[in-house]
Amino acid sequence: MNEKWGKETFGGGLNLHAEVVNGVCPACQSSVVLVSLYKHLYRCVKCGSDLEQKVNGVISYIPTGNPNTKIVLSDSNVPQKS
């Protein structure tokens, strides 16, 4: 076969380490399985929400922010257009 397989870019360059943990997802409020392919970043298998693991005496999972998210503020005193 190919003697170089696993020794160059396509064979030896990929080192994948998956971690599977149990936790409570803050997005869907369920006790679920969380899967990680990158250190401290997890995904909920139930709702698909991306979470960041914070260790500060207690392990907690915080939703990660999306820089493309737009926040719209509305004033409750201004009549809404219908």
| DSSP characters over 15-78 | ----EEEEEEETTTTEEEEEEEEETTEEEETTT--EEEEEESSSEEEEEPP-TT-------TTS
**pTM tops 0.95, yes or no:** no
Task: Tell which residue, 41, 59, 58, has the closest CA to residue 50.
Answer: 41
Q: One digit per residue, pLDDT tens: the chain, 82 residues? A: 556 655 665 556 566 788 999 989 988 999 999 999 888 889 999 998 889 888 877 778 778 776 666 666 666 666 666 5
H or E element in which residue 23 lies: strand 19-25
